[in-house]
Amino acid sequence: MSEHHEHHIASAKQLWGIGIALLILTVLTVTVAGLGLPSPFDILTAMAIALTKAFLVAAFFMGLYWDTKFNSMLLIGALAFFILMVSITLLDTLYRDDIVPSF
């Protein structure tokens, strides 16, 4: 750890570029949703676009691209544990003999 550690300063051009990319992706996801793709593909494209947007925000707005790898690891770790939670719970809910009926 040195005394004079340079923090990365993103250029205004970079930041605006990311902002505009996010805007375009938002328009894209609304347009694709309007097309009415068949069942698994609509959610898959929506999530793919959302993940791309999330990646842009995390990498450049939050500066993970220039940051220590450990901070990226924390973010990925949190997502991994979220996926773990969902997938193990699904092991129960998808394979129930009968789901709780409506009253």
Partner 1 sequence: MANHSATHPKHVHHHFVDSNQQFESAKLGMWVFLVNEILFFGGLFCAYIIFRAWYPELFTQAALELNTFWGAVNTVVLIGSSLTVAMAIRSAQNNQKRGLEINLLITILLACVFLVIKYFEYEHKLHLGIAPGSFWNPTPEIAAVLDHPKANIFFGIYYMMTGVHGLHVIVGIGLMIWLYIRARKGHFNSEYYTPVEITGLYWHLVDLIWIFLFPLLYLIE
Partner 2 sequence: MANVSTSANSAASTPMKLKVKQFQPAQTPTNTYLTDEKGVWAWLTTVDHKKIGLMYLGSVAFFFALAGFLAIALRTELWTPAKTFIEADTYNQLFTLHGAMMVFFVLVPSIPAALGNFILPMQLGAKDVAFPRLNLASFYIYVFGAIFTFLSLANNGFDTGWTFYTPYSSDTNSAGIIWVTLGVFILGFSSILTGTNFITTIHKLRAPGISWDRLPLNVWALYATSIIQVLATPVLAITILLLAMENILDIGIFDPALGGDPVLYQHFFWFYSHPAVYIMIVPGFGIISEVITTFSKKTIFGYWAIALSSLAIAFIGFLVWGHHMFTSGQSAVATTIFSFLTFLVGIPTGIKIFNWVATLYRGSISMKTPMLYVFIFIFLFSIGGFTGIMLGALSVDIHLHDTYYVVAHFHYVMMGGTLIALLAGLHYWWPKMTGKMYNEPLAKIAAGFIFIGFNVTFLPQFIMGAQGMPRRYYNYIDQFTPFHQTSTIGSYILALGFLIILYYLAHSLFKGKKAGPNPWNSRGLEWQSTSPPDFHNFSHTPVVIHGPYDYHQPIEEFQLGLAVEHGHGEKYLAADATGSEAAETTSA
CB 64 within 8 A of CB 71: yes
When asked if residue 61 is in the footprint of partner 1 (CB under 8 A), the reply is: yes
Which residues lie closer than 8 Å to 8 by C-beta, 6 or more apart?
63, 66, 67
- Candidate list 47, 50, 78, 83; residue touching partner 2; CB under 8 A: 78
Residue spans of beta strands (DSSP E) within 1-103: none
CA angle 53, 6, 66 (to 5 degrees): 20
When asked if residue 27 is in the footprint of partner 2 (CB under 8 A), the reply is: no
Stretch that binds partner 2, among 5-13, 26-34, 55-63, 84-92 (CB under 8 A): 84-92
Which residues of the shown chain bind partner 2 in the complex (CB under 8 A)? 1-2, 70, 77-78, 81, 84-85, 88-89, 91-97, 99-100, 102-103
